[in-house]
Structure 1
Amino acid sequence: MTFTPIGSRFSLQRVALVLVFAWGMLLTMPHARADDVAWQALENGRIVLFRHALAPGTGDPANFTLGDCSTQRNLNDKGRADSRAIGQAFQDKGINVGRVLTSQWCRCVETAELAFPGQVEEEPVFNSFFQNRSAGPEQTRAAQRILEQWLGDGALVVITHQVNITALTDIFPQSGEGIVIQINNGEIDVIGRLRI
């Protein structure tokens, strides 16, 4: 049987609490700094690729029809609330949005319209190629060409799909997450991630 003086036991508990608190601070600080850098980049006219907000499920139903939302996976209430929160975050940060491009899938269009009403343009190269992976390489090259042409009068916002963002950045984003990028000499550089 080991005897631990009462004072030592309380000291160990205090040390443990301090370590847990410090670890928590370390985990959150880099994320906050990364977000700050990403927001600053958008102030300077960079590009953000958002995965559409939450639309439960994976892929698309067998009867998927472009332009008919009743045949597609759509945003749920949380997805709609998160979409509005994206737009509110841009307003709160004072980010000038120069252009908003979206996939033609209903879940992307709705995300874009709720976040940036009246600014949305459909752009087919940002449509999902999840069901047709062979189209991915050419579609990704076409998407990159559009991104390379952005001259930065405000931020360029693109609402698209996980598969498209991963092909461009090698990042697997969460629903509603934004990946802020810039293009240097034909290469996409990731600046930061926005989890709103």
Structure 2
Amino acid sequence: MILCRLACSALLLLLSALTASAVSADEEAWKALQEGRALLMLRHALAPGTGDPENFALDDCSTQRNLNDRGREQARAWKELLWKHGIGEARVYTSQWCRSRDTATEMAIGKVTEWPPLNSFFAGRGNGDMQTRQTIALVNELKPGLPVVLVSHQVNITRLTGVYPSSGEGVIIALPLSDNPTILATVMP
């Protein structure tokens, strides 16, 4: 009985230490984002379905998968989370897909600028290797300033980071970007 209590106590101490370590790592990731030593790359908020219809047209949102009400709520929740971590304004770059642009706009944390390299290349719609290289180059050319937020798609994030994000999930990545970036945290509002 005493051995069991000791083992349980040791396990609780270990879990507490691991939790504290994870919280500390997340706090450091947010601090790096706030200070411009990292960026936040997130997958657009919830837009039910997979891919886009065959009649997809970049300039016509009615031909694309779009955010639903839950997706719009997810996007707006980012503003509160960023504010909580001391980020009231950011430079926001987005894919030209409507669901990404709408996510970026609903976040309401700064001017939204379209970056074609952030466009989806799912199902052969682009060139993943080239777009990833372009994204790395564009990010690394940015001048110091407000924190940077990229809104893109699962395939783009996975190609760059190896992380498979859920809809609306973000990855805080250390700067400068490289072919093998340092992932500081995965976050979700």
TM-score band by shorter chain is: 0.7 to 0.9
User: 1:86 matched to which residue of 2?
Assistant: 78
Q: 1:114 aligns with which of 94, 106, 121?
A: 106
**Deviations 1:32-89 (CA, angstroms, capped at 9, x unpaired):** 3332122111111121101111111111111111121111111111111111110121
Structure 1 unpaired stretches of 5+: 1-7
Contact 2:94 2:100 in 1 (8 A): yes
User: Taking structure 2 as the reference length, what is the TM-score of the superposition?
Assistant: 0.84
Q: Deviations over 1:97-145 (max 9, x none)?
A: 3410000111101100010255111111100000217611111111110
Between stretches 73-82 and 23-32, larger displacement belongs to 23-32
Measure the CA separation in 1 of the matches of 2:18 and 2:71.
Answer: 26
Per the TM alignment, residue 147 of structure 1 is displaced from its structure 2 partner at its CA by: 1.4
Aligned counterparts of 2:50 and 2:10: Cα–Cα separation in 1: 40
Q: What residue is the counterpart of 1:176 in the other structure?
A: 168
Q: 2:141 aligns with which of 149, 155, 180?
A: 149
Correspondences of 1:93-132 after superposition (within 5 Å):
93-116=85-108, 119-132=111-124
Stretches of structure 2 that go unaligned for 5 or more consecutive residues are: none
The aligned counterpart of 1:190 is 183
Over the aligned positions, Cα root-mean-square deviation in angstroms equals 2.6
Amino acid at match of 2:89: V
Q: How does 1:39-50 map to 2 (within 5 A)?
A: 39-45=30-36, 46-50=38-42
The structure with the larger Rg is: 1
Cα distance in 1 for residues equivalent to 2:18 and 2:103: 29
- Name the stretch that deviates more: 25-34 or 84-93: 25-34
| Aligned positions of 1:56-75 closer than 5 A | 56-75=48-67
Which stretch shifts more, 30-39 or 133-142?
30-39
1:152, CA displacement in angstroms? Answer: 3.2
2:26 alignment partner AA: D
Q: How many aligned residue pairs are there?
A: 186
Q: 3-state DSSP class of the match of 1:171?
A: coil
Do the aligned residues in 1 keep the contact of 2:90 with 2:110 (CA within 8 Å)?
A: no
AA aligned opposite 2:186: R
Identity %: 43
Q: Tell me if structure 2 keeps the 8 A contact 1:42–1:180.
A: yes
Give structure 1 regions of 4+ aligned residues with deviation exceeding 6 angstroms. 14-24
CA contact (8 A) 1:43 1:96 kept: no
